[in-house]
């Protein structure tokens, strides 16, 4: 169905592939490949949004200014 490909800090490429709507997402980077569910991706995006808004705190995701 769709693919997203982005450069990562180590000079590699991270690719996310989803074969069908609401299906699992396969993440590939360097020598690693694993799958997460669509629901897990939604949870990660909600967590990121909450960190950016200041509702949650992360050592890695900084609050938006």
Distance between CA atoms of residues 11 and 47, nearest Å: 26
Q: How many CB atoms lie within 10 A of CB 50?
A: 14
Burial 23-44 (b: 16+ CB within 10 A, else e): ebbeebeeeeeeeeeeeeeeee
Distance, CA of 29 to CA of 14 (rounded, Å): 5
Confidence bin at 1 (pLDDT 50/70/90): confident
**What are 26-61's pLDDT values in tens digits?**
999 988 999 999 999 999 999 999 999 999 999 999
pTM score, whole prediction: 0.79
């Amino acid at each position: 169905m769709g693919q997203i490909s982005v450069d990562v800090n180590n000079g590699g490429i991270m690719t996310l592939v989803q074969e069908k709507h609401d299906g699992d997402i396969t993440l590939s980077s360097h020598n690693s490949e694993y799958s997460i569910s669509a629901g897990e991706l939604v949870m990660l995006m909600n967590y990121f949004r909450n960190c950016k808004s200041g509702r949650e705190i992360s050592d890695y995701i900084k609050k938006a200014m």
